[in-house]
Amino acid sequence: MTSTPTRSARQLAHVTLGSTLVASSTRHIRVEEATKTYATRLEPAGLLALKPITLDIDAGTFVSIVGPSGCGKSTFMRMVAGLTPISGGRIEIDGTEVREPRNDVGVVFQSPVLLPWKTALENVILPARFAKKNLAEAREQAREYFDLVGLSGFESAYPRELSGGMQQRVGIVRALLNHPKLLLMDEPFGALDAMSREKMNLELLRIWAATSCTVLFITHSIPEAVLLADRVLVMSGRPGEIVDDVEVTLPRPRSLEQINTAEFGRYTYSLRQHFKSEGLD
Ligand code: ADP
Ligand code: MG
């Protein structure tokens, strides 16, 4: 199942080589021997959170990351986001070393952290306000993204008037506002009930198809990882390292019915083998 990488057409940039049309993919993220050791009070030598991680991610790919709690998934994502400094190695986005947060990278966390006294729209344009950007333009763009995530009509609602799923969509709009080429999502639907979560999974696939950005999606759920991704990276317990890299070739567009197919079951079964003893939570 992992052997022959097959990539969907949206990931392929076609280049003409002589008279032959050759498909080649564009690398978006390169991670070379990236490690993380946290300085902590309890461990004078430092706490090794991540063993050296090396991987390449092609532009437009949807990559899920699964691994047990505390294995360093969030650390890895924050390193790619430029929010946590790396202790060794190198991370590049579009050929440039990541040293700080970038404008072309959007981040969505488990909790959207919305200001309760501001409307959904005002929450979304807050970063634009801080960055002293043109607010009329930001509002205009935000309205388009409210539409894209199925929230049009709720721009002037306050967070308390929105369900958990709707609040998370507001967080997604905020991340999309800069038209990111890379969307980093850290267990974004972890706090939602099962039905809202499934609905959000399908919504996310629709948004991804519409924006064609690269997505790095962290989850505790193996079925969620498989349903969404082109590729599932499996991390070991702390200190985390990538122990498997599975290409998911289920046809797209994906649907919830696929969860009941034998092929889907083969992916989830094989991924679960990594967590037989410890479980995922
Ligand atoms: P995950 O997201 O997979 O649950 P994290 O990346 O949050 O894992 O954490 C990985 C390890 O690093 C854990 O042991 C955690 O306690 C530790 N850790 C995370 N952040 C810090 C920090 N700021 N300072 C010290 N240790 C940290
Ligand atoms: Mg985490």
In this prediction, residue 68 carries a pLDDT of 92
Q: How far is the CA of 155 from the centre of ligand 2 (A)?
A: 30
What average pLDDT does this structure show over 72-100? 97
Residue of 75, 218, 220 to test ligand 1 pocket, by largest number of atoms within 8 Å of CB: 75
Q: How far is the CA of 75 from the centre of ligand 1 (A)?
A: 6
Per-residue pLDDT of 26-81, as tens digits, reads 999 999 999 999 998 888 889 999 999 999 999 999 999 999 999 999 999 999 99
State the ligand closest to the CA atom of 85.
1
In this prediction, residue 110 carries a pLDDT of 87
In this prediction, residue 9 carries a pLDDT of 41
State the ligand closest to the CA atom of 75.
1
Residue 215, SS3? strand
pTM of the model: 0.89
In this structure, the chain runs to a length of: 281
- Categorize the per-residue pLDDT at 13 as very low, low, confident or very high, splitting at 50, 70 and 90: very low
The DSSP symbol for 267 reads: H
Q: Would you say the CB of residue 40 lies under 6 angstroms from ligand 1? A: yes
In this prediction, residue 276 carries a pLDDT of 84
Q: How far is the CA of 146 from the centre of ligand 2 (A)?
A: 27
In this prediction, residue 15 carries a pLDDT of 40
pLDDT of residue 279 exceeding 70, the answer is no
- Categorize the per-residue pLDDT at 254 as very low, low, confident or very high, splitting at 50, 70 and 90: very high
16 strand-pairing partners? 21
**Taking all residues of the chain, what is their mean pLDDT, rounded to a whole number?**
89
Q: b/e map of 25-43 (b: 16 or more CB within 10 Å)?
A: beebbbbeebbbbeeeeee
| % of the chain exceeding 90 in pLDDT | 74
pLDDT of residue 20 exceeding 90, the answer is no
Q: Would you say the CB of residue 35 lies under 6 angstroms from ligand 1? A: no
In this prediction, residue 196 carries a pLDDT of 86
Per-residue pLDDT of 211-249, as tens digits, reads 989 999 999 899 999 999 999 999 999 999 999 999 999
- d(C-alpha 129, C-alpha 143), whole Å: 16
Q: Would you say the CB of residue 74 lies under 6 angstroms from ligand 1? A: yes
Q: How far is the CA of 72 from the centre of ligand 1 (A)?
A: 6
Q: b/e map of 231-262 (b: 16 or more CB within 10 Å)?
A: bbbbbbbbbbbbeeebbbebeeebeeeebeee
